[in-house]
Chains A and B, each alone.
Chain A
Amino acid sequence: MKLTGAQILWETLMREGVEVVFGYPGGANLPIYDAMLDYPVRHVLVRHEQGAAHMADGYARACGKVGVAMATSGPGATNLVTGIATAMMDSSPTVFITGQVASKFIGFDAFQETDVTGITLPITKHNYLVTRVEEIAPTLREAFYIASTGRPGPVLVDIAKDAQQHSMDWEYDGRPIKMRGYRPDLRPVPRQIEQAVEMISAAKRPLILAGRGVLLSGAMRELLEFAERANTPVALTLLGISGFPATHPLNLGMMGMHGEAWVNHAIQEADLLLAFGMRFDDRVTGNLKTYATGARKIHIDIDPSEINKNVKVDLGLVGDLRETLRQILDRLEPLEHADWLGQIAQEKGSNAVRDIQSLPGDEHLYAAHVIHDLWRATAGQALIVTDVGQHQMWAAQYFKQDNPHRWITSGGLGTMGFGLPAAIGAKIACPEADVWAIVGDGGFQMTAAELSTAAQEGLKVNVAVINNGFLGMVRQWQEFFYERRYAATPMRSPDFVKLAEAHGLTGLRVTSRAEVEGAIRRARETEGSVVVDFRVEQEDSVYPMVPSGADLHNMIRRPMPIAETAESEI
């Protein structure tokens, strides 16, 4: 069959199961777009390529399939960069396809030429430059294989325009992919499994640190079984949220910089840390010199380079988490840790004063109210996508997410502007889900143009803007560490209600606690996307907080007056 490179591309994507592509056309990928019209694929036209990258990422995180984004050469490709780096840091299975100038012009600074494989080399799991039509199908097959196996990640395929245009006799070659230098299927040896079981059985104060690997590996059931059989409490990383039910008695909550005191203290007092698919990020450990010094450590990760990278461990198991936990469970007897669990429960009891009811409920509106009420009003069933900043931490603390893959956030890179486009991607992946983007007024404006995409696609994505008139997290750091010198953090925003209306969408404004639930209900009942502008306290801070680089047990706690109010109200 005689096909052009562009047709071969779509033939291959169809066989990879691609149903939706997020992208933006331009000079160097016109042949791909022209051929697209003949294939059953949904194309989502974004307003900026960064949006396409985040949408593909959000799509992948919501449904586990590889997310695909497309852009033209030069500025189209460079606009993807932030989104690619975001997907890289959070191990999101994504494929980026960029058009490149014709091969004879490559290297001559042609119009809209950029060395995108060079630029994205350190922020992709792998990337390719394709200059011949014959390479298109095998390269794309490898790209999907690499993106979705082992520790997932972004793969970029840059395709010269002439390769898209040339024709060749083509038949699909579906033989298994063989790559000499790529081994996504490492597994621990039995001796290591036995050693792990011994260490777990001997521990008096064990603690599980669960990360995104739980979700990526699909090890939710195994984690639950392990925690329950070994009676071991679970602390979650920011990206591990939803991998273990938030309302489960063994769930302690999020660890790290904005983790609850009892979680971080438990880490510091544990005698065995079980790190499951997490990477001891600095936001999780604080000062490495004083981190969990009394604990032996077992680390299970599919990426060998994560073992002993930040924290030296006593036992490192390289392999798929689900399969590895299964093997451990085959040998693990039930364990009791009543004293240890009691000790944690006691501290939790004495510190839980910063529960939601602790905040003054008068005419003030706190972000915590909004998120708590959103959780209640959606019966905890919403698919939450956040942006980056204070609202993200509050959402992590107050939205008790029980359902896997219903929590999407930019953790590693901390990309402002991620929320809305990722929510659009998630909505397309899960059309039945009640998708809420929780964003700050700063991050929202970085990619607010994608409201237009949501409108054009007829998507129902609700946006909760936690609007405090500041770049809140930076302001908080200025308050704590820079003597309240608010350099460049006060921010004036447009009227978000009118902004929504300008897009043909609905906008609502909420200024008091009493209006919150009603607005959420209205937003859910309204057809089309809704932007709710929650005007919250301007100078509220996220507590507790471990200052960057400080010891994990040294937290800045909620100021006393609020804590006292709390106790009286509980």
Chain B
Amino acid sequence: MYHTIVALVEDKPGVLNRVASLFRRRTFNIESLTVGHTEQPGISRMTIVVDSDDLSIERLTAYLYKLVNVIQVEDLTSLPRVTRDLAMIKVSATAENRTHIMQTVDVFRARIVDVTNSSFIIEITGDEEKIEGFVEVLRPLGIIEMVRTGAVAMARGTNPLYMNGNGHLAESAVRV
């Protein structure tokens, strides 16, 4: 099953390589991985989607903690959360299907961000399912090119991910 893992890491050279290398070395398959800055200087946030069972995710979490640059790891899979992925899709637009495409874009609450005589670039934000659905609808119309950012995720509610204190980590690392 797909797990959405969030890791707070030190913003230092090579950290992405360390994390990616860990997944390869421990034979985990990354579905998507995104990195970006956080509200805290010097700390980046990774959202990693990985297809694996629960026990393996426990192992993976412990391995991630072994990396000296990794500050915190949380599996958001079972938590109430918001997940977003952004896609840009270039489709061919002919005189006949132009209106149809524009209606479809409206239905999915996507946006057209570039227009030429023969194509659109459409931007859509949403969770995995919504984007997959949109892509399937567009496919028969002729997708020229597509790019996706991969998922970013955040748990719902007031509390931030970042929790200080080692006790919390010790127990979460050894959930038996």
B55:A308 contact, CB within 8 angstroms: yes
Chain A residue with Cβ nearest B14: A117
B138 within 8 Å of A by Cβ?
Answer: no
Bound form: Cα–Cα A129–B170 in Å: 30
| Residues 1-31 (chain B) with a chain A CB within 8 angstroms | 9-10, 13-14, 17-18, 21, 25
B107 contacts across to A, CB distance below 8 A: none
Residues of the B chain whose Cβ atoms lie less than 8 Å from the Cβ of A305: 59, 62-63, 65-66
Q: Which residues of B contact A183 (CB under 8 A)?
A: 65, 166, 169
State which residues 248-285 of A face B: CB under 8 Å: none
Is B176 in contact with chain A by the CB < 8 A criterion?
yes
CA distance A129 to B12 in the complex (A): 11
B86 is an interface residue with CB less than 8 A from chain A: no
B95 an interface residue at 8 Å Cβ cutoff?
no
Q: A182-B68, A186-B169 are in contact. Are A308 and B59 (CB under 8 A)?
A: yes
- State how many angstroms separate the Cβ of B144 from the closest Cβ of chain A: 35
Residue contact A146 to B68, C-beta cutoff 8 Å = yes
B58 within 8 A of A: yes
B155 proximal to A (CB < 8 A): no
Report if A181-B70 is in contact (Cβ < 8 Å); known contacts: A307-B62, A308-B59, A309-B59. Answer: yes
Report the Cα distance A303→B170, complex, angstroms. 10
Residues of A within 8 A of B39 (CB): none
Q: Contacts A121-B18, A121-B21, A309-B59 given: A189-B170 contact, CB under 8 Å?
A: yes
Contact indicator B68/A188 (Cβ below 8 Å): no
Would B70 and A189 count as touching, CB distance under 8 A?
no
Q: In the assembled complex, which residues on chain A have CB atoms less than 8 Å from the CB atom of B58? A: 308
Nearest-CB distance from A490 to chain B (Å)? 36
A residues 129-186 touching B (CB-CB < 8 Å): 129, 146, 179-183, 185-186
Q: Tell me the bound Cα distance from A319 to B55 in angstroms.
A: 21
Contact with B along A393-431 (1 / 0, CB 8 A): 000000000000000000000000000000000000000
Given A126-B68, A183-B166, A318:B59 Cβ within 8 A: no
Complex Cα distance, B66 from A314, in Å, reads: 23
In the complex, which residues of chain B have a beta carbon less than 8 angstroms from the beta carbon of A319? 170
Contact B176 A316 (CB under 8 A): yes
CB of A521 within 8 Å of the partner chain: no
Q: A75 at the A/B interface (Cβ < 8 Å)? A: no
A186 to B167, CA, bound (A): 8
Interface string of B30-68 (1 = CB under 8 A from A): 000000000000000000000000010011001101111
Q: How far is the CB of B124 from chain A (nearest CB, A)?
A: 35
- Give the nearest-CB partner of A304 in chain B: B173
The CA-CA distance from A313 to B176 in the complex, in Å, is 7
Proximity bits, B101-120, A CB within 8 Å = 1, else 0:
00000000000000000000
Task: Say yes or no: B173 contacts A186, CB within 8 Å.
Answer: yes
Q: Is B174 an interface residue (CB 8 A)?
A: yes
Interface centre among A182, A186, A305, by most chain B C-beta atoms within 10 angstroms, is A305
Instruction: Tell me if A122 is interfacial: C-beta within 8 Å of chain B.
Output: yes
Q: How many residues of A contact B (CB 8 A)?
A: 32
Contacts of B128-169 to chain A: CB distance below 8 A: 166-167, 169
A496-514 interface mask toward B, CB cutoff 8 Å, 1 = contact, 0 = none? 0000000000000000000
State A183–B72 Cα separation when bound (angstroms). 11
Q: Is the Cβ of B176 less than 8 Å from the Cβ of A180?
A: no
**Complex interface: chain A residues within 8 A of B14 (CB):** 117, 121, 129
Chain B, interface size category, equals 20 to 34
Q: Which residues of A contact B96 (CB under 8 A)?
A: none
Which residue in A118, A182, A188, A312 is a CB contact (below 8 Å) of B170?
A188
For residue A297, which residue of chain B has the nearest CB?
A: B176
CB neighbours (8 Å) of A189 from chain B are: 167, 170-171
A27 to B167, CA, bound (A): 48
- Kindly list chain B residues whose C-beta atoms are within 8 Å of the C-beta of A188: 170
In the complex, whether A317 has a CB less than 8 A from a CB of chain B is: yes
B83 CB–A CB distance under 8 Å = no
Contacts of B25 in A (CB 8 A): 122
**Does B9 contact A304, Cβ atoms closer than 8 Å?**
no
Which residues of chain A come closer than 8 Å to B170, judged between CB atoms? 186-189, 304, 318-319
Residues of A within 8 A of B55 (CB): 308, 312
Cβ B10 vs Cβ A180 within 8 A: yes
Shortest beta-carbon distance from B80 to chain A in Å: 27
**Cβ of A315 under 8 Å from chain B:** yes
B164, closest chain A residue (CB):
A180
Minimum CB distance partner of B7 in chain A? A181
- Indicate the member of B59, B67, B69, B170 with the most A CB atoms within 10 Å: B170
- Complex interface residues of chain A between 299 and 346 (CB less than 8 A to chain B): 303-305, 307-309, 312-319
User: In the complex, which of the residues B10, B171, B174 contacts A181, with contact meaning CB atoms closer than 8 Å?
Assistant: B10
> Could you say which residues of chain B place their CB within 8 Å of the CB of A314?
176
Residues of A within 8 A of B71 (CB): 180-181
- Cα-based distance from A27 to B11 in the complex (angstroms): 32
Residue from A118, A313, A318 within 8 A of B173 (CB atoms): A318
Contacts of B59 in A (CB 8 A): 305, 308-309
In the assembly, what is the distance between CA of A117 and CA of B10, in Å?
A: 18
> A317 — which chain B residues lie within 8 A by C-beta?
174
Inter-chain contact B66/A318, CB cutoff 8 Å: no
Q: Are A186 and B166 in contact (CB under 8 A)?
A: yes
Q: List 23 A-B contacts (CB under 8 A).
A: A118-B17, A121-B17, A121-B18, A122-B21, A129-B14, A180-B71, A182-B68, A183-B65, A183-B169, A186-B169, A186-B173, A188-B170, A189-B167, A189-B170, A303-B66, A304-B170, A305-B62, A305-B66, A307-B173, A307-B174, A313-B176, A314-B176, A316-B176
User: Which 5 pairs between the two chains have the least Cβ-Cβ distance?
Assistant: A305-B62, A304-B173, A186-B170, A126-B68, A316-B174
Q: Which residues of A contact B (CB under 8 A)?
A: 117-118, 121-122, 125-126, 129, 146, 179-183, 185-189, 303-305, 307-309, 312-319
Chain B residues proximal to chain A, CB less than 8 Å: 9-10, 13-14, 17-18, 21, 25, 55, 58-59, 62-63, 65-71, 166-167, 169-171, 173-174, 176
- With A186-B169, A188-B170, A303-B66 known, 5 other A-B pairs at CB within 8 A are A180-B10, A180-B71, A187-B170, A189-B167, A305-B65
